[in-house]
């Protein structure tokens, strides 16, 4: 994996806590709302990366968001998700926990340990009900934790607290 990380020697040794603090500070510095309401960015379509090993989950999100001004990127396993995040810089990441080739913990840790991705908000969406998993993912730097199955209106309002999602004009 080290080849994917832009500056392995610097980023990998950085403690997670430090990285997360830096990420929070950076987001704060970008303005009260974390940057997405910045007028220069408002005109840009938000890009949302969905990482889930079930392609149908990714597809439902694509279909749902086809009505909204948003671009949906998809990845079907952990390392692919991390690669997409590094190369495409999405504005929001929606992520499953149990996946082949790099689970949610791995992806989250990698994202938070890399300068290019450390500030991207991450919503964890899982079918697991373990309360410890909840606190674990938040400790690793997830911004939100939701349970599957979820009704789209709930998911939408959660996504809207991180990116601006408006309906496409008819």
For residue 127, state whether it binds other proteins (rule: CB under 8 A).
yes
Report the residue number, 42 or 139, with the smaller CB distance to other proteins: 139
133-152 positions binding other proteins, by CB under 8 A: 135-136, 139-141, 148-152
Beta strands in 8-90 (DSSP E): 47-51, 71-75
For residues 86-121, one letter each, b for 16 or more C-beta atoms within 10 angstroms of the residue's C-beta and e for the rest, the string is beeebbbbbbbbebeebbbbbbbbbbbbbbebbbbb
For residue 32, state whether it binds other proteins (rule: CB under 8 A).
no
Report the residue number, 27 or 41, with the smaller CB distance to other proteins: 27
Measured in Å, how far apart are the chain's first and last C-alpha atoms?
Answer: 44
For residue 131, state whether it binds other proteins (rule: CB under 8 A).
yes
Q: Quick check: 141 and 108 in contact, CB under 8 A?
A: yes
Q: How many residues bind other proteins (CB under 8 A)?
A: 31
- Rounded-to-integer distance, Cα 86 and Cα 68, Å: 24
Residue 66 CA to its chain's centroid (Å)? 19
For residue 67, state whether it binds other proteins (rule: CB under 8 A).
yes
Report the residue number, 42 or 154, with the smaller CB distance to other proteins: 154
74-103 positions binding other proteins, by CB under 8 A: 98
Q: Residue 47 — φ and ψ, nearest 5°?
A: -110, 125
For residue 157, state whether it binds other proteins (rule: CB under 8 A).
no
Which chain residues interact with other proteins by CB under 8 A? 16-17, 20-21, 24, 54, 56-57, 60, 63-64, 66-67, 98, 126-132, 135-136, 139-141, 148-152
């Amino acid at each position: 994996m080290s080849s994917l990380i832009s500056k392995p020697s610097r980023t990998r040794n950085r403690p997670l806590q430090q990285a997360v603090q830096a990420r929070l500070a950076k987001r704060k510095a970008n303005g009260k709302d974390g940057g997405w309401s910045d007028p220069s960015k408002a005109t840009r379509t938000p890009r949302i990366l969905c990482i889930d090993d079930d392609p149908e989950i990714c597809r439902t999100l694509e279909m749902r968001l086809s009505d909204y001004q948003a671009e949906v990127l998809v990845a079907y396993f952990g390392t692919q998700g991390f690669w997409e995040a590094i190369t495409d810089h999405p504005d929001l990441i929606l992520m499953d926990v149990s996946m082949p080739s790099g689970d949610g913990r791995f992806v989250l840790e990698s994202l938070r340990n890399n300068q290019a991705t450390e500030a991207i908000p991450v919503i964890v969406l899982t079918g697991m009900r373990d309360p410890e998993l909840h606190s674990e993912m938040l400790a690793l730097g997830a911004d939100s934790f939701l349970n599957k199955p979820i009704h789209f209106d709930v998911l939408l309002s959660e996504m809207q607290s991180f990116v601006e999602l408006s309906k496409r004009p008819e």
